[in-house]
Amino acid sequence: MFTVLEEDRESRARRGILHLNHGDVATPVFMPVGTNAAVKAVSHRDLEEIGFNLILGNTYHVYLRPGLEVIRGYGGLHRFSGWRGNILTDSGGFQIFSLAPLRKIRQEGVSFRSHIDGASCVFTPRSVVEAQSVFGSDIMMPLDVCTPPGISRGEAEEALAITGAWAERSKEAWLGLSEEGRGELFGIIQGNFFEDLRRRGVEEILGLDLPGIAIGGLSVGESPQRFSELLAFTSALLPREKPRYVMGIGTPRYILEAVENGIDMFDCVFPTRIARNGCLFTNRGRLVLKREENRGLDRPPDEECSCPVCGRYSIGYLRHLFKTNEILGPMLATYHNLYYMKNFIEKISCSIKNHTFLQFKKEFLETYGTAGS
């Protein structure tokens, strides 16, 4: 499912192509997050116009509402939502991780209470794969146990053992699906922040020989330095021929760090979430629209950006939209941030092709800055 096209001479950065059921996807690739089968504040036409052809959906949320029977009646998420490109669905593991007071993990699966109405639910490795089959997901993720920093080694080992067992059962369920339209199943590497457990997690997942590999359990509250250390350590253990995915990163600095370590795929709600709160990515760092110094400012958010928002609207006007709670504000800000991310990734890809990635990274960060990036 993956072809490596080019590798940077001075780092592990690379570009390639994912071959998926709904068309090829160039990598590196950032995936906008469509939690409820929709990327908040933008239409599918907007996403297509920007150039995205792979977005992320959330198994936990879509399972709860509208539910599997509704999605099955439409023949999958693509027809239900009207999205023509590819869809990666996560397993719901991270959402269940976030609902610690409402869930219980056992060897057979995880039981939890819906955050919507408190109803009791159970996810097993098989049921999660089968749900994603109903969705028609182009890339599927197995159920896993995500753990926070600071837990004991014993807790980390237990979570890793369950994740490994669940991965085996997920593969069994996946192989039992009809080949027609079956999505690609990735394995997820856990192990918390213990290097030997990370190594064990890599060995277990590679032993299953799944189409792709995800590195989980990073960007969950650890320091940037620890993120970098574990990312570099884990990614160095991965084979060249499989696509590599780091889950849950969406800032320029973290993406550059990931690409330098040979990561091909990443997703995060961050670019769209901060947009809805009036914060824009620009080539000189983040622009917080609501600040008083932006009142009446008659220039585009980013003079180097060629998106329709920067081509038509001023900072002062966008600030006005947010100060008056006009829905157009989050819509325009979200479009801009996603356009920025797509353009940023294209610049990275170009630098890899020209074998100048490290120079691009250095020059970008000098201009963009480091605070909160």
267 catalytic per annotation? yes
Residue showing tokens 């590819």:
86
The catalytically annotated residue of 8, 90, 144, 302 is 90
Query: In the beta sheet, which residues pair with residue 213?
Result: 187, 244
Question: Is 298 considered catalytic here?
Answer: no
Cβ pair 84, 52 in contact under 8 A:
no
Is residue 161 within 8 A of residue 204, CB to CB? The reply is no
The two structure tokens encoding residue 200: 């064990």
- Three-class SS of the chain: CEEEEEECCCCCCEEEEEEECCEEEEECEEECEECCCCCCCCCHHHHHHHCCCEEEEEHHHHHHCCCHHHHHHHCCHHHHHCCCCEEEEECCHHHHHHCHHHEEEECCEEEEECCCCCCEEEECHHHHHHHHHHHCCCEECCCCCCCCCCCCHHHHHHHHHHHHHHHHHHHHHHHCCCCCCCCEEEEEECCCCCHHHHHHHHHHHHHHCCCEEEECCCCCCCCHHHHHHHHHHHHCCCCCCCCEEECCCCCHHHHHHHHHCCCCEEECCHHHHHHHCCEEEEECEEEECCCHHHCCCCCCCCCCCCCHHHHHCCHHHHHHHHHCCCCHHHHHHHHHHHHHHHHHHHHHHHHHHCCCHHHHHHHHHHHHCCCCC
User: In whole angstroms, what is the distance from residue 187 CA to residue 205 CA?
Assistant: 6
Q: Which of 138, 264, 267, 302 is catalytic?
A: 267
Any idea which residues carry the catalytic annotation? Answer: 90, 267
